[in-house]
Structure 1
Amino acid sequence: MSRKARLWLLAVGGIGVAVLLACAAFDLPGFGGTSHPYGERAVRSALARHTANVISSVNFDQRAFDTLGEESILFAAVLGTVVLLRETRDEHSEPPETVQVDPQVRRYALIALPVTLLIGLYVIAHGQLSPGGGFQGGVIVATALHLLYIAIDYKALERIRPAAAYAIADAAGEAAYVLLGTAGLLAGSVFLANFLPYGTFNTLSSGGTVPLLNAAIGVEVAGATVVLLSRFLDQALEIEGGGGRGTGRQGEEANRS
């Protein structure tokens, strides 16, 4: 196909999409009106499948395939970061210098760490019942671990943050989501169908596959966030050389400021 033909094909496709979007926009309910057809259907479907949090029902049931795309974007971003920020042959790693942390910062960071971790796990586990879920809870869990860097130093964080283990968790969360979707096909329905019993409304076991997909997302997001931060922190604090590619090792005290 010639370049001119490709441009014409692109133009026709773009005009078609623009027409469809314009038709949809003109058919939207009036702003501030009483008609909310999508919201009413979403709420009705969430209640029918015993999911108290309508947002989680939309994310992990009604539009679970969209969520798979969002999860895959994060997975791809982590993979790209690991490849781009890997240590090259003309670089080497040196452990960052230990710095003294103010006692007040150390005390409150160590207190906040288990509390923040517990909150993150709670948000993931109760995603089908209350605001939050795997995306939010996964970020909170990853943030909790990095409070150890603030409280002590980077070496302490590295001891509880083996990047390879969290990379496996990232991949496992992605795979679990896909496998749960495939289980819907094996159950005689469609990919990512909510095929499990819906359970008792407003309990942890309610919502069918929603809490399982939510947990898979939580594992994937927590692992992905830890791996992303580990690569950037390693690049800033440990890696030297590389012909100017990296930032070089800097003192931890400079990075804290």
Structure 2
Amino acid sequence: MLWEVEILPAGGEKDYEGQRVLVAAGHQGITGLQSVRSGRAFLVQGELDADQVRQGAAALLADPVTEQFTVRALPATAVSADPDEILLNVLFHPGVTDSVAENARDALRRRGLSVTHAATCRRYWITGELSTAGLQLLSRRVLANEAIEQIASGALQIRDLTVGSEYRFRQTIVPIRTMDDAALQDLSKRGQLYLSLTEMRTVRDHFISLDRDPTDIELETVAQTWSEHCSHKTLAGRIHYVETQGGQLQRDQSFN
């Protein structure tokens, strides 16, 4: 079962994140924004009942002095919002590492709770008269990093945190020994190896001498090792430096 632990500042505590959003929106030229409340949430999945989730949240997820929390089952039918507020949830895209959620999952497991998956969420309740363009600008520039995060409006309708399928190893052999120059260049481009034709020929000839073709991992290892980042190929060549002054030779030196 999937549960949501919504965590808000306790009564009397300042909402620093909400204040940050208001200031940042002003710097972005966003008008019509009147107020912002913020919170955070943990999504916890596993063989759990509501009491177990509450116990785990009280012990590990929320600060009992400065925060208060609510537990609800997902998909949610209600949220802690006023009718005039717009609720925006910021979550990581599938596949993006969520270190806080991973640590929370492991800590809950150590307390004996059967947690299989966990995720984090930032939450914003917004009031004002924002245009559609203004709301989109607020989302992109202030609330979320669209490269790694996504925004969902309203009560979360997530049913399952499981993404993808179980990994199964499959060895891939690259038939480089039979490739001509065009095929070598295509392999370097499609495989994002970024090796020159001369380098690709060298790799091919090496595996011809071994009487076998490489795996994709071996080929990638060679490409990484020969990359500009690792070996600085641009500076690896010979340099002949000549310096003159007033027609007179001052320095003539070769560097290997």
TM-score bracket, shorter-length normalisation: under 0.3
Per the normalisation by structure 2, the TM-score is 0.19
**Structure with max Cα Rg:** 2
TM-score, normalised via structure 1 length? 0.19
- More strand, by proportion: 2
Structure of higher RCO (CA pairs closer than 8 Å, 6+ residues apart): 1
Structure richer in helix, relative to its length: 1
